[in-house]
Amino acid sequence: MIDRYKSMTIEEILMTPKPASLLYAWQQVGNNEDPEALVRGHINQDQILTDLLLAFTGTVDSSNRGRYETLNRDSLAGFLDYEAARERIKAIASRATDSEMVRIAKRLDVAFEDGSK
């Protein structure tokens, strides 16, 4: 199983139904270094970063706020630097020329904010 994970590209992982679950499973059966190295080696690409963050986004159902998304520091800790990713998302939201990328970055920025409360 570990060999299968190691042979996958980041794009292949992101195309699975639950990329975050796959990365967590890889950590549990192997070691933290391999999945972290794969993620860190590709998050310099805005699209990969946003796709990964979307995969790690959780949903909260609250009686007073309704449904909202969060990005939790603990969920991301084994894969990337939370604060650096948060700052990158803010930068992407302010500089991206693709309206879809801006929309996603703003959504992720709100999820970071809600996840830090």
pLDDT digits (tens, 9 = 90+) for 34-55: 999 999 999 999 999 999 999 9
pTM: 0.93
pLDDT digits (tens, 9 = 90+) for 58-89: 999 999 999 999 999 999 999 999 999 999 99
Burial of 9 (0-12, 13-18, 19+ CB in 10 A): exposed
* Residue of 79, 107, 82, 74 whose CA lies nearest to 23: 79
